[in-house]
Amino acid sequence: MCGIVAYIGDKKALPRLIEGLRRLEYRGYDSAGVALVDPNSDRLWVHKTVGRVEELAKGVSEGPETTIGIAHTRWATHGGVTQPNAHPHLDTENRIAVIHNGIIENFNELRASLEASGVVFRSETDTEVLPHLIRKYYQGDPLQAVIRAIQDIRGTYGIAVLFRDHPDRVIAARNGSPLAIGLGDGETVLGSDPQAIVAHTRRVVYLDDREIAVLTRDGAQVQRLDGVRVDQQVEIIDGDYTLAEKTGFAHFMLKEIMEQPESIRRCLGGRVMTDDGNAKLGGLNMSPRELVGVKRVVNIGCGTSFHAGMVGAMAIESLARVPARAEIASEFRYNNPIVDPEGVFLAISQSGETADTLGAIEEVQLKGGQTLGVVNVVGSTIARTCGQGVYVHSGPEIAVASTKAFTSQIAALMTFTLMLARTRNLSLEEGKAMARALADIPNKVAEYLQDPGPIMAAVEAVKGARYVLFLGRGFSYPVALEGALKLKEVAYVACEGYPAGEMKHGPIAMMEKGTPVIFLIPADSQREKAISNMKEVQARGAKLIVVHNRGDQEIASMADISIPVPEVPYYLTPFLTVLPLQLLAYQVGLALGRDIDKPRTLAKSVTVE
Ligand code: AGP
């Protein structure tokens, strides 16, 4: 979603701003813009464009030589994808420019009151109220004007403000939308994510909510909105921020699918101890005594991360015998949840910036609950807010459709399950068996990816379908949901995931001759029941695409299209059964001419509610 970069230093701002935006492209956006202080003009120089940063870069070659500016990539929320709606937004005199991530909830009333006082708006955005409000309150002190304007707004924001009259500073403020300040040598860089900063420096100060900063060439002064000075905690950005390359793959999505043997191995590496039949998670400061004290586990996430949370909750409950459930963050946070102080709440997020997940864990913390992050992006807001947890180490995930993060999240959750289970009733021998099976998962995933089976036959069945159903029971149910999410997100094919046993209570009415039904039936305790469900849809003429264990001839012979996967213990089957579904979504998307890495549905990082 939207990206923010600001630069003030001793070098040319424009190329650095464009480079910063390029590094934020992976978040998803639809338009981009830049504002610079033009030393030869009494107005700010602004250029905006619909489309790619590349287009913006072409259009700014005539930009002024200056060492201060702000730039933005927008993901439309309020107002269509148009050039006037792109950021930066300006006051009526073009002397104050604002870029903004987040949503201003009371913008309608603010706009009405500003219009009543004669302000003419140039866009449909919520953001545009900000430069006009700042102008209204500006009496020579830019910091005070921004503070005063912020006091009028309700909602979330990460903003950067540029003043023509103050070419020696950029003002930045945050409430709910992350901002990090990079402290370089003679330059200071603001980014909505560290990716925009790391090319300059790894020394960073993260703004907290209700904090505001004045950035100069020599650093930054941070204070709270009430004026109290904040002691800056300078942190060193850790982690891999090299710009990901497709390395010969046609799309990042395919590359990331194929990377899963290594990404899972990275997640498990040094954590799963096959000889001890146990695991250790460095980011989790919990002794066995504390683990024994865990009375319940709640996994919170959105989308794919929620599905991983479902798998993890099933594993925790069935193997560690600790009550566990998964919750959709956007529901959980607003349903006045009961927070058990003896429970742990795992915030699962690839980006670590998802607004709903962040909101949910803040609610848990407010109610005295213990939160742990299961996060990919090091130093992200959710990771920092949780304070402790597990990095899943899947490496940068660029494609909007999450694939390798899913399997790494499951790997991290299985590792946690093993630790929890060993403090309870899982014996040493059982622990060893689980640790060995887990450690072997990267090999099994590699084995499948080398020979993925008749995916293209499944593509033919799915690509023209009016409706596709994904079914699974037990551990295969969240995988069915994930398969449907991928197919919708990447290929825009109408489909849904369902628990196979529930199918006869409604969705069976959708079955017509030839309706593709994708059935996940690895060999587990539910296999026989799933076969009955398979027969029910087959009797109605459905075309059965079945993902099953290699060697299960009975199921293979019943399927129209049979996709075998290597055999693993039942609780690890999601690592394998999800792979053909990821490939299917990718190939159907390709066959239907979709923009695979940048589908129309979602941004990579969903930083608004
Ligand atoms: C999955 O393919 C999606 N892009 C989406 O559902 C995603 O998983 C969700 O928005 C949560 O993101 P997060 O893991 O970064 O919190």
pLDDT at 31: 92
What is the per-residue pLDDT across 429-477, written as a single tens digit (0 to 9) for each?
999 999 999 999 999 999 999 999 999 999 999 999 999 999 999 999 9
pLDDT at 125: 95
pLDDT at 80: 87
pTM (2 decimals)?
0.82
Residue 168 has pLDDT above 90, yes or no: yes
Return the structure tokens found at 251.
Answer: 């799309």
C-beta atoms surrounding 217 within 10 Å: 16
> Is the CB–ligand 1 distance for residue 127 below 6 Å?
no
> Is the CB–ligand 1 distance for residue 402 below 6 Å?
yes
Residue 148 has pLDDT above 80, yes or no: yes
pLDDT at 242: 67
What is the per-residue pLDDT across 273-314, written as a single tens digit (0 to 9) for each?
999 999 999 888 889 999 999 999 999 999 999 999 999 999
With bands split at pLDDT 50, 70 and 90, how would you rate the model's confidence at 488?
very high
pLDDT, mean of residues 561-570: 97
pLDDT, mean of residues 527-541: 87
What is the per-residue pLDDT across 63-95, written as a single tens digit (0 to 9) for each?
899 999 999 999 888 888 999 999 999 999 999
With bands split at pLDDT 50, 70 and 90, how would you rate the model's confidence at 261?
very high
Mutate to test the pocket of ligand 1, among 257, 330, 354 (most ligand atoms within 8 A of CB): 354
With bands split at pLDDT 50, 70 and 90, how would you rate the model's confidence at 364?
very high
Mutate to test the pocket of ligand 1, among 302, 333, 380 (most ligand atoms within 8 A of CB): 302
DSSP code of 176?
Answer: B
With bands split at pLDDT 50, 70 and 90, how would you rate the model's confidence at 603?
low
The residue to which tokens 């980014």 are assigned = 191
The helix/strand/coil state of 216 is strand
pLDDT at 606: 74
Q: Taking Cα atoms as reference points, which of 283, 280, 284, 332 lies closest to residue 306?
A: 332
Residue 408 has pLDDT above 90, yes or no: yes
Catalytic residue flag (residue 58): no
| Closest residue to atom 5 of ligand 1, CA basis | 303
pLDDT at 473: 95
Catalytic residue flag (residue 2): yes
pLDDT at 528: 85
Residue 609 has pLDDT above 90, yes or no: no
Residue 265 has pLDDT above 90, yes or no: yes
2, 267, 302, 386: the active-site residue: 2
pLDDT at 2: 86
48, 255, 486, 604: the active-site residue: 604
| Closest residue to atom 7 of ligand 1, CA basis | 303
CA-based max dimension of the chain: 80
With bands split at pLDDT 50, 70 and 90, how would you rate the model's confidence at 597?
confident
pLDDT at 601: 55
With bands split at pLDDT 50, 70 and 90, how would you rate the model's confidence at 100?
very high
> Is the CB–ligand 1 distance for residue 602 below 6 Å?
yes
With bands split at pLDDT 50, 70 and 90, how would you rate the model's confidence at 505?
very high
Residue 20 has pLDDT above 60, yes or no: yes
| Closest residue to atom 8 of ligand 1, CA basis | 304
What is the per-residue pLDDT across 116-138, written as a single tens digit (0 to 9) for each?
999 999 999 999 999 999 999 99
Please tell me the distance from the alpha carbon of residue 380 to that of residue 180, in angstroms, as a whole number: 10
Least confident of 241-245, 420-424, 549-553, 558-562: 241-245
With bands split at pLDDT 50, 70 and 90, how would you rate the model's confidence at 577?
very high
- Cα(604) to centroid(ligand 1), Å: 7
Return the structure tokens found at 104.
Answer: 């201003």
Residue 243 has pLDDT above 80, yes or no: no
- Cα(97) to centroid(ligand 1), Å: 31
488 to 162, 463, 491, 507: CA distances (angstroms): 40, 12, 6, 17
- Cα(154) to centroid(ligand 1), Å: 26
In the chain, the percentage of residues whose pLDDT exceeds 70 is: 98
> Is the CB–ligand 1 distance for residue 313 below 6 Å?
no
- Cα(375) to centroid(ligand 1), Å: 12
> Is the CB–ligand 1 distance for residue 230 below 6 Å?
no
DSSP characters over 67-126:
SEEEEEEE--SSS-S-TTTSSPEE-TTS-EEEEEES-BTTHHHHHHHHHHTT----SS-S
With bands split at pLDDT 50, 70 and 90, how would you rate the model's confidence at 602?
low
- Cα(301) to centroid(ligand 1), Å: 8
Q: Which residues of 492-505 are buried (b: 16+ CB within 10 A; e: fewer)?
A: ebebbbbbbbebee
pLDDT at 194: 85
- Cα(421) to centroid(ligand 1), Å: 28
> Is the CB–ligand 1 distance for residue 211 below 6 Å?
no
With bands split at pLDDT 50, 70 and 90, how would you rate the model's confidence at 604?
low
266 to 236, 260, 272, 405: CA distances (angstroms): 22, 10, 11, 12
315 versus 604: which is more confidently predicted? Answer: 315
Least confident of 143-147, 511-515, 586-590: 511-515
